[in-house]
């Protein structure tokens, strides 16, 4: 099954329902109300092998090599990434790839994460990336066959998201109310995870937020 950078059902005029909800929600929140975010915690202390650690490091190094050119945000823009949503402390500004992707590709993250920095070209410094995954949920509340060990990476999804034409995301709207306002409604998004590979996160490389990002 195709995994879009954010599939057409999750986009509206290059806007991402996933993205805006993730920026607004606090860490660890798990709700199933309209307009809210659902995050599933992984089992604490889940085992991870040396082989898994090594493979994860190799994947993240490939991600760094492939995204090094995007340290200049202008290069990201020329490759089809567009800034979506507000600039939020701990999460930065998200640049979302509007082109469709086939499957999970560690070298082509659908979302790049930036923070303001007047000293670098384009005024934004690359701090991390974000990946999407289209997969069924396992008994532990995490996606089946995820590309990163469950003990390291916690994936999350968002439910009942309405993105209006101005890219705002009002809470509590039903699908009908959203459509009546000209918005795009998403019942449930793909899985999502951050990887802070360009600026270390005190909370961990796969943490939902990075407190060092201003």
What residue has token string 């995870």? Answer: 193
Do residues 189 and 18 make contact, with C-beta atoms less than 8 angstroms apart? yes
The better pLDDT of the pair 1, 137 is held by 137
Structure confidence at residue 87 (pLDDT): 86
pLDDT category, 171, cuts 50, 70, 90? confident
- Per the structure block, which two tokens stand in for 61? 């190094």
d(CA 195, CA 113): 9
Residue 174, pLDDT > 80, answer yes
Q: 10 Å Cβ neighbour count for 66?
A: 15
The CA–CA distances, whole Å, from 200 to 26, 118, 180 equal 19, 20, 43
Do residues 149 and 8 make contact, with C-beta atoms less than 8 angstroms apart? no
d(CA 100, CA 10): 12
Structure confidence at residue 168 (pLDDT): 65
SS3 of residue 37 by DSSP: strand
Parallel, antiparallel or unpaired: strands 11-12 and 15-16:
antiparallel
Q: Give residue limits of the domains in the chain.
A: 8-195
Residue 26, pLDDT > 60, answer no
- Dmax over Cα atoms in the chain, in whole Å? 53
Max mean pLDDT range (10-14, 34-38, 41-45):
41-45
Q: 10 Å Cβ neighbour count for 7?
A: 18
Structure confidence at residue 167 (pLDDT): 63
pLDDT category, 45, cuts 50, 70, 90? low
Do residues 108 and 66 make contact, with C-beta atoms less than 8 angstroms apart? yes
* Mean pLDDT of all residues belonging to the chain: 80
Full-model pTM: 0.74
Cα–Cα–Cα angle for 182, 184, 190, rounded to 5 degrees: 175
């Amino acid at each position: 099954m195709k995994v879009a950078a954010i599939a057409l059902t999750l986009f509206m005029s290059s806007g991402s329902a996933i993205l805006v909800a993730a920026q607004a929600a606090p860490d660890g929140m798990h709700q199933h109300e309209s307009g809210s975010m659902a995050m599933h915690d992984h089992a604490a202390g889940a085992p991870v092998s040396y082989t898994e650690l090594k493979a994860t490091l190799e994947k993240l190094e490939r991600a760094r090599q492939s995204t090094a050119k995007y340290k200049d945000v202008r290069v990201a823009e020329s490759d089809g990434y567009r800034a979506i949503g507000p600039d939020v402390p701990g999460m930065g500004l998200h640049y979302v790839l509007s082109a469709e992707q086939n499957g999970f590709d560690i070298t082509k993250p659908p979302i790049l994460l930036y923070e303001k920095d007047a000293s670098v070209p384009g005024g934004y410094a690359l701090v991390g990336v974000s990946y999407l995954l289209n997969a069924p949920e396992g008994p532990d509340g995490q996606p089946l066959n995820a590309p990163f060990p469950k003990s390291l990476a916690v994936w999350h999804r968002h439910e009942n998201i309405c993105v209006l034409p101005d890219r705002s995301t009002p809470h509590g709207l039903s699908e009908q109310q959203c459509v009546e306002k000209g918005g795009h409604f998403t019942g449930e998004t793909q899985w999502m995870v951050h990887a802070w590979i360009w600026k270390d996160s005190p909370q961990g490389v796969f943490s939902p937020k990075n407190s060092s990002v201003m």
